[in-house]
Amino acid sequence: MNFIKKQEEYIKKVLLENNYDVESVGLIPSSRPDLGEYQFNGMMALAKKNKENPIASANKIADILKTNEEYESVSVAGPGFINITFQNNALLNEANRLLSNDNLVTKEPSKKIIIDYGGPNVAKILHVGHLRSANIGEALKRLARKLGHEVIGDIHLGDYGLQMGLVMLEIQTRYPNLSCFQNDFEGNEVLDLPITNDDLIDIYPIASGKSKNDQEFLEKAREITYLFQNNHKGYKALWRSIMNISLADMKEIYQKLNIEFDLWNGESDAETFIPEMLEYLRKENAIIPSEGAEVIEVKEENDKLEIPPLLIIKTNKTVSYQTTDLATLWDRAHNMNPDEVWYVADKRQELHFTQIFRAAHKTKIVKENTKLEFIGFGTMNGLDGRPFKTRDGGVMSLRNLINEVEKVTDTKIIPSIMGEERKKVSETISVGTLKFADLLSHRATDYIFDLEKFSDANGKTGPFILYSTVRMRSLLKKAEEEKIQYNFVELKDKTDKTVILQVLQLQKVLEKSLQEKSLHEITDFLYNLNNCYNNFYGMNRILTEENENLKQTWIALTKLVYEINLLILDILAIKVPTRM
């Protein structure tokens, strides 16, 4: 068992034996390192419950804890804080345990989780909001897996709504002679369209602009949307061909970002399930007519805000973003039987998900004990505090953003790295810079993307962590060349001990991060750990140390921190460059 958890269990046992009615004990790094390394702050409340003097109770418990051989000292401070300093040997044993096979992370009882993240829209620009969803979702998926869960990641493409009708109409206007627009079109193939992905991305805003000023254009686009949703051969073929172009582009960019989806399903895949879902909902009388449309009521008595009904069939007979999301849940519940489904999307979509979750539970499409969770994130803003824009005021594409970061990164890489390697290194560091920065704050807070700050190798940044990792790797390589054994045998002083004390928090940090569905605890921990290690590194000469015991311990310490860096960077889906 993880060392800190073991101590918590032990203290809990001592408390129970002394008639303190305690549910769980939290041992945290001391806020006063001069008094002890870890502290237990629960004694005051427990004493109060038993109507005792807290200092006296704390002293009584401290006296018992003092008999523990793993503790060097136990003391009471202030109104009843219990401070503990660990024996070096206890820490050395734990460090050795962590370093041996696969012990870094203790797994939780496994749940089956589906994560819906990424959510890019076909034929529309992939923007920084989509980076956030993909980045946060990918990291949560990997974190949950490391902690023992079975996780399925689904991209849930936006590929079914009016935007598709608009794009198709604009293409039809430009290329009316394409085979798919002819009345006798019967094909099932993917068409060879005279357009690229860049064209598609230009087409959408033009078509969307037209639809705002031209009612006829809008009506026509709606009709096309209806037709393609109802298996019109020509529009289905066109849609497939657009998907083909768009997906190729998306795959390239997600690969660059180390983001891997298990399922490439989209809103359109819900189509198969819509008829059976509608039949079920009608049978259950869950759908009601409303002003020419059909809806599901989801408001509840205690709502403070008005929660509007779910729009299932629009007046123009097309289905909505809500219908496809509900039908996707139908599919997930019936065919995958998850314990939990998580949705990583912009926090401004919260109402949509409240509606979906309520409808799914109320209609029993999803079992009562299947947990549906909305994981909302804030906006990445530019230096002016407003949503990121290009210089000419357009929406910043993800690709452009990566290019901007690469320009800055390239100036900071050492000159001896050249040619192809330089390109690769620059891309790896840039992606790391972007992703680390994006996971630095609590996911729900808006943040300002300050490129200078986020690419500073001396700050709390991706480059700082990567640099530190690369340096450890080369130190370990030298140690290996010199055939130095590594093992935790002896500690010198606070410089090396503090690093182990930091390491002890790993398990808790991972668990807390998963609980909160936010990665900021992890990026914080990684930064503190590396800071601590760098401090130790600056104070000692590892490879030339004459005391063999210390030298072995320090290589082991380097190895342990390096392994933790790799573990966490893997969770964050950040790669380490060959050099930098």
Binding site for ligand ARG (CB under 6 A): 116, 119, 121, 156, 158, 325, 343, 345
* Cβ at position 165, least distance to ligand ARG in Å: 16
Q: Name the phi and psi angles at 499, rounded to 5.
A: -65, -45
Q: Greatest CA span in the chain, whole angstroms?
A: 91
Nearer to ligand ARG, 15 or 134 (CB): 134
* Cβ at position 117, least distance to ligand ARG in Å: 8
Nearer to ligand ARG, 119 or 577 (CB): 119
Q: Residue of minimal CB distance from ligand ARG? A: 119
Report yes or no: 341 and 361 within 8 Å, Cβ to Cβ. no
* Cβ at position 318, least distance to ligand ARG in Å: 17
Nearer to ligand ARG, 247 or 425 (CB): 247
Residue 122 corresponds to which tokens in the numbers above?
């076909």
Nearer to ligand ARG, 92 or 113 (CB): 113
* Cβ at position 281, least distance to ligand ARG in Å: 19
* Cβ at position 158, least distance to ligand ARG in Å: 3
* Cβ at position 395, least distance to ligand ARG in Å: 12
Residue 537 corresponds to which tokens in the numbers above?
């590194």
Instruction: Give the gyration radius of the chain's Cα atoms.
Output: 29
Task: Write the DSSP assignment of 361-421 as a string of letters.
Answer: HHTTSS-TTSEEEEEEE--EE-TTSSB-B-TTSPBPBHHHHHHHHHHHHHTTS-TT--HHH
CA atoms within 13 A on the CB side of 325: 25
Phi/psi zone of residue 248: left (φ > 0), alpha (ψ -120 to 50 degrees), beta?
alpha
Nearer to ligand ARG, 42 or 120 (CB): 120
Nearer to ligand ARG, 114 or 218 (CB): 114
Picking from 429, 403, 517, the residue whose alpha carbon sits closest to that of residue 133 is 517
Cβ count near 393 (within 10 Å): 6
* Cβ at position 329, least distance to ligand ARG in Å: 9
421, burial (CB in 10 Å: exposed 0-12, middle 13-18, buried 19+): middle
Nearer to ligand ARG, 121 or 246 (CB): 121
Nearer to ligand ARG, 144 or 345 (CB): 345
CA atoms within 13 A on the CB side of 399: 11
Reduced 3-state DSSP string for 304-332: CCCCCCEEEECCCCCECHHHHHHHHHHHH
* Cβ at position 553, least distance to ligand ARG in Å: 49
- Round to whole Å and give the CA distance between 372 and 354: 10
* Cβ at position 320, least distance to ligand ARG in Å: 11
Nearer to ligand ARG, 345 or 360 (CB): 345
Dihedral sign computed on CA atoms, order 353, 354, 355, 357: positive
* Cβ at position 266, least distance to ligand ARG in Å: 9
CA atoms within 13 A on the CB side of 175: 13
CA atoms within 13 A on the CB side of 560: 32
Nearer to ligand ARG, 3 or 343 (CB): 343
* Cβ at position 130, least distance to ligand ARG in Å: 7
Any idea how long the chain is?
580
Nearer to ligand ARG, 126 or 413 (CB): 126
3-state secondary structure of 521: helix
